[in-house]
A = this chain, B = another copy of it.
Amino acid sequence: VNVCSAPLARAVSIKEIARLAQVSHSTVSRALRHSPLVNPETAERIRRIAEESGYCPSGPARSLVTRHTETIGVVVTSIADPFHADVVGGIEEAANERGFSVFLANSNADPERELRVVRSFQQRRVDGLIVAASRVGALHLSALSRMRIPIVLVNNQHPSEFVHSVAIANAQAAREATRHLVALGHRRIAYIGDRFGYQSDTERFAGYRQALAEADLPFEPELVVHGNGKPDGAPPAVARLLALAAPPTALFCYNDMTALGALRYLRSCGLRVPEDLSLVGFDDLFLAEYTDPPLTTMRQPMWQMGRAAARMLLDLLEGSATVDNVQMPAELILRQSTAPPRRRHG
């Protein structure tokens, strides 16, 4: 016989243990919360009885009176995306350290689903919300701010006094990555962006242009193409670049997933990286170290960003938050996918 699907035994409540201990349930409540307002010996006795009877306090009942749930909601576009998986890991770790549990939901980048999910979190009375890399902030800001709970955005700052965020300095990081290519001698550097209009893409693109301008390199619109942030978005974009009369000698990608797709496509075209073409990614997913050649990329401290977001939210909840937007450091990781361009005319 299967005990698991049997009707749930009613969990023992504070009342039950009050009966056992021959005190009022108020006293039990105090003893369990270690209130100083109860005789140490009876408190001890009560706790022992609670322990023995397998008492487990009811979160829902408690939060009904305390008006908070020690719970946060996190919505990501896709948990299967390694970037988000890492961020969520950091969030969970930091939340857990402070006694919070996390609700996780996928939005699949679908604004409607996103809104549904947020609404369900609202019913569950999460104390706060973390939204990672989506456009929800832009689309539904008013709906969100109406919720009147703290929200922190990861990699998706929104120019508003209503939301908080943690991100890296995207423009600056992209500029640094592009500079690296310039320093190697590349003059025709392509940018493979993301076609969904994320703010991070806009900023990285801006950084790319800045680096070009600094080096007095012309900005060539034909060198800017768009993927979809995933490996399969890269081939068509790369193909367009390769078909140019004067193809680029280096590719700077919006993220590592795009770089991964580009790398594989280049290989399938018989092109070698970095001998024929240099490639730089963005994120430093763990797999960047395992590609062949290992990928030069701009590292985002994803796990730390998750931790920072959770801590910021928790600080907000206890009113001790000091800043509204934290900016994390990015770091260029030099590996083997970049090299000086081949001389054109030996």
Contact = CB atoms under 8 A, between A and B. Distances in A.
Interface of A: 1-6, 8-9, 54, 56-61, 63-64, 67, 69, 71, 78-82, 85-86, 88-89, 92-93, 96, 99, 101-106, 117, 119-125, 145-146, 148-151, 161-164, 231, 260, 263-264, 267, 287, 290-292, 303, 316, 319, 321, 324
A4 B130 CA distance: 13
**Complex copy number for this chain:** 2
Nearest to A303: B80
A56 B124 CA distance: 10
Contacts of A85: 79-82, 85
A115 B124 CA distance: 24
B148 A3 contact: yes
Nearest to A73: B101
B149 A8 contact: yes
Contacts of A319: 5
A207 to B, nearest CB: 26
A9 B59 CA distance: 22
9 nearest A-B pairs in the assembled complex, by CB-CB distance: A60-B60, A292-B292, A85-B85, A104-B104, A4-B150, A59-B124, A80-B89, A59-B123, A79-B89
A162 B54 contact: no
